Amino acid sequence: MATPSLKDMCRSRTLKVGHFVVEFATPGIGHILKGAGCDFVLFDTEHSGFGHETIKSALRYFEAADLPAIVRVPSKEYHHIARAADMGAEGIMLPMVSDAIEARAILDCMKYVPEGRRGVALGVAHDRYRQGPVLEKLAALNDRIAFFAQIETVAGVENCEEMAAIDGVDCLWVGHFDLSCAMGIPGQFDHPDFLEAVARVARACERHGKACGRLVPDVAQGVDYWNKGYDMICYAGDVWVLQAGVRAGVDGIRDGVGTAGKAEAAKAGKKSKKAGKAKKAKA
Decide: 173 and 232 in contact? Cβ < 8 Å: yes
Q: How far is CA 148 from the centre of its chain?
A: 11
Backbone phi and psi for residue 204, each to the nearest 5 degrees, phi listed first:
-65, -40
Q: 3-state DSSP: the chain helix, strand, coil percent, rounded to 5?
A: 50, 15, 35
- Catalytic-role residue among 31, 47, 52, 208: 47
For the chain, which residues make up each domain, given as ranges? Answer: 6-238
| 3 state DSSP class of 210 | coil
Query: Going by DSSP bridges, is the β-strand pair 40-44/146-151 parallel, antiparallel, or unpaired?
Result: unpaired
Query: Going by DSSP bridges, is the β-strand pair 91-94/169-174 parallel, antiparallel, or unpaired?
Result: unpaired
Q: Does residue 126 have an active-site annotation?
A: no
- 10-residue stretch averages of pLDDT, the chain, 283 residues long: 89 96 97 98 96 96 98 97 96 98 98 96 90 94 97 98 98 98 98 98 98 98 98 98 96 86 68 65 59
What pLDDT does residue 133 have?
95
What pLDDT does residue 277 have?
65
What pLDDT does residue 1 have?
60
Q: 6-238: which CATH architecture? A: Alpha-Beta Barrel (3.20)
Q: Answer whether 0.75 is exceeded by the pTM.
A: yes
The upper half-sphere exposure of residue 243, i.e. CA atoms within 13 Å in the direction of its Cβ, equals 8
What pLDDT does residue 258 have?
87
